[in-house]
């Protein structure tokens, strides 16, 4: 009878739920299982293991990020350095394919250890004149991460996307994790480009055709209270107005002097959408503040107001490559892209001693707001070229960088903290 049928169904329900739970668990474990690491030399497979965390995603059949931890629970920082040295250039191939590699489990380490890890990758230190935030050097090619206020989220971006020769690898090191928040979210950049192309094809086509120009307002003296506060003197490596103007003309940048010796610069047109050589995929290769924040005078081109005598603050924004301001549909599209990237991100909480290595040509990063204290250090190595497509190039030293190729969006300081 119908009554007997429903009574039997009730008895079978717990068993059905148990079977379903087992199946779902098995599927998840199969998807997120530790996998054989591509390019890892056989001699090192007994040294490290691939692990997963709840935030791990699988993209194109590869864990994102790839998390490597020592098999020896007593391993320390020196063992991690030995592992990277033993990897030789294989680590480049691993980072290139996975996009992001998190080295975790070797315990707390020093900034000097991080400097040695960076050097072990055997790539030249990136010329930092075009970086996008005042920073403080703490060791060889190691400096503090963006000094933006802890209450602010730093949007997704490719490091030094406003420059002609960005770094090929971006390294982060956790010296002290935040009490709350403070993760460094990461994202495969082709996802953002695909979203923009599919959701806003006309805007994407316009960005691809026209490119963008980066607008920057720089102070005469570095303002450490601003995430964009590097002075035009340090940015351009000059002392006088005349020298600054000559440097900007050589770069193909336009400029205006504002009250208080503030300098407003506009770069030459630069690509916002690029095809990455290794994957063949299109990436959304833009800078954070430049894409999602506006310079106050961006829309009408007017001089920055000093309402009620308030000082002009360092700022940054973009216009189209032909000089036209971003219209409302474009700003809406960029806002939606930003929201999509937050939904698609991977944000793994930091642990002291973590080292995160990013392929800057395919992976964007951001920073969550946080409750201090928090200390994350960074190191940039290698070079990318944006000529024709996005690809790695070999520059033998910092001196090999063409100074006239440096964007006036530069904000890297060579300030020291006494270390």
How far, CA to CA in Å, does 172 sit from each of 143, 162, 200, 205, 386?
Answer: 10, 20, 33, 34, 23
Q: What is the mean pLDDT of residues 28-42?
A: 70
Q: What is the mean pLDDT of residues 215-226?
A: 83
Q: Are strands 180-181 and 375-381 parallel, antiparallel or unpaired?
A: unpaired
Least confident segment among 107-111, 335-339, 396-400: 396-400
- pTM for the complete prediction? 0.83
- Residue 69 pairs in a beta bridge with 49
Return the number of other C-beta atoms located less than 10 Å from residue 391's C-beta. Answer: 17
pLDDT of residue 4: 60
CA distance 240 to 260: 14
> Are the C-beta atoms of 333 and 354 separated by less than 8 Å?
no
Q: What is the mean pLDDT of residues 28-33?
A: 50
Q: What is the mean pLDDT of the chain?
A: 84
Query: Nearest-CA neighbor of 40 among 31, 50, 32?
Result: 50
pLDDT of residue 403: 36
pLDDT winner (highest mean) among 25-39, 99-113, 219-233, 308-322: 99-113
Q: Is the pLDDT confidence value at 6 over 90?
A: no
Domain 191-339 in the same topology as domain 48-185+347-392: yes
- The topology under which CATH files domain 191-339 is Double-stranded beta-helix (3.60.130)
Q: What is the mean pLDDT of residues 332-339?
A: 94
pLDDT tens per residue, range 341-361: 999 999 999 999 999 999 999
- Give the burial class of 121: count Cβ atoms within 10 A of its Cβ; 0-12 exposed, 13-18 middle, 19 or more buried: buried
Query: Nearest-CA neighbor of 127 among 156, 163, 100, 89?
Result: 163
- The topology under which CATH files domain 48-185+347-392 is Double-stranded beta-helix (3.60.130)
How far, CA to CA in Å, does 361 sit from each of 93, 102, 122, 219, 368?
Answer: 13, 17, 18, 30, 21
Q: Is the pLDDT confidence value at 55 over 60?
A: yes
Give 223's pLDDT tier (boundaries 50, 70, 90).
Answer: confident
Q: Residue 89, CB half-sphere, CA atoms under 13 Å: how many? A: 2
Query: Nearest-CA neighbor of 63 among 93, 102, 91, 17?
Result: 102
CA distance 174 to 189: 23
pLDDT tens per residue, range 179-193: 999 999 999 999 999
pLDDT of residue 222: 80
For the CA atoms of 246, 167, 350, 177, the dihedral, rounded to the nearest 10 degrees, stands at -30
User: Could you write out the three-class secondary structure of the chain?
Assistant: CHHHHHHHHHHHHHHHHHHHHHHHHHHHHHHCCCCCCCCCCHHHCCCEEEECCCCCEEECCEEECEEEEECCCCCCHHHHHHHHHHHCCHHHHHHHHHCEEEECCCCCCCHHHHHHHHHHCCCCECCHHHCCCCCEEEECCEEECCCCCCCCCEEEECCCCCCCCCCCEEEEEEEECCCEECCCCEEEHHHHHHHHHHHCHHHHHHHHHHCEEEEEEECCCCCCCCCCCCCHHHHHCCCCHHHHHHHHHHHCCEEEEEHHHEEEEECCCECCEEEECCCCCEEECCCHHHHHCCCCCCCCCCCCCCHHHCCCCCEEEEEECCCCCCCHHHHHHHHHHHHHHHHHCECCCCCCCCEEEEECCCEEEEECCEECCCEEEEEEECEEECCCCEEEECCCCHHHCCHHHCCCCCCCCCEECCC
Query: Nearest-CA neighbor of 283 among 380, 213, 335, 359?
Result: 359
pLDDT winner (highest mean) among 93-102, 141-150, 401-410: 93-102
Domain extents for the chain?
48-185+347-392, 191-339
Give 34's pLDDT tier (boundaries 50, 70, 90).
Answer: low
- Residue 170 pairs in a beta bridge with 358, 380
Query: What are φ and ψ of residue 270, in 5° steps?
Result: -135, 150
pLDDT of residue 296: 43
């Amino acid at each position: 009878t119908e009554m007997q049928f429903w009574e039997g169904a009730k008895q079978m329900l717990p068993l059905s739920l148990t079977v379903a739970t087992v199946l779902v668990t098995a599927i998840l474990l199969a998807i997120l299982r530790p996998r054989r690491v591509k390019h890892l030399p056989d001699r090192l497979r007994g040294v490290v293991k691939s692990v997963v965390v709840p935030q791990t995603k699988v993209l194109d059949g590869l864990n994102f990020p790839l998390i490597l931890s020592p098999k020896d629970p007593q391993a320390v920082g020196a063992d991690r350095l030995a592992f990277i040295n033993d990897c030789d250039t294989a680590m480049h191939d691993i980072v290139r394919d996975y996009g992001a590699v998190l080295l975790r489990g070797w315990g707390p380490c020093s900034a000097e250890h991080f400097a040695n890890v960076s050097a072990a990758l055997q790539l030249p230190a990136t010329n930092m004149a075009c970086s996008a935030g005042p920073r403080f050097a703490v060791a060889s090619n190691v400096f503090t991460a963006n000094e933006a206020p802890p209450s602010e989220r730093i949007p997704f971006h490719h490091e030094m996307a406003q420059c002609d020769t960005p770094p090929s690898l971006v390294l982060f090191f956790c010296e002290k994790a935040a009490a709350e928040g403070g993760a460094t979210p990461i994202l495969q950049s082709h996802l953002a480009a695909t979203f923009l192309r599919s959701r806003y094809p006309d805007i994407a086509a316009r960005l691809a055709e026209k490119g963008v120009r980066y607008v920057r307002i720089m102070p005469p003296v570095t303002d450490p209270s601003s995430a964009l506060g590097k002075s035009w003197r340090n940015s351009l490596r000059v002392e006088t107005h005349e020298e600054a103007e000559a440097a900007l003309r050589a770069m193909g940048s336009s400029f205006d002097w504002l009250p208080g010796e503030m300098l407003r610069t506009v770069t030459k047109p630069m690509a916002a959408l690029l095809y990455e050589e290794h994957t063949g995929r299109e990436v959304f290769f833009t800078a954070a503040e430049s894409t999602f924040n506006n310079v106050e005078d961006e829309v009408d081109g007017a001089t920055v107001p000093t309402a009620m005598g308030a000082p002009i603050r360092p700022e940054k924004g973009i216009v189209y490559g032909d000089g036209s301001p971003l219209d409302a549909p474009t700003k809406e599209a960029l806002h939606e892209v930003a929201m999509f990237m937050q939904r698609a991100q991977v944000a793994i909480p930091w642990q002291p001693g973590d080292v995160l290595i990013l392929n800057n040509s395919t992976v964007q990063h951001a920073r969550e707001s946080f409750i201090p204290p928090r200390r994350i250090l960074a190191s940039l190595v290698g070079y990318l070229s944006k000529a024709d497509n996005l690809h790695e190039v070999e520059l033998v030293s910092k001196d090999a960088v063409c100074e006239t190729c440096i964007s006036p969006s530069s904000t890297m300081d060579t300030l020291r903290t006494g270390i």
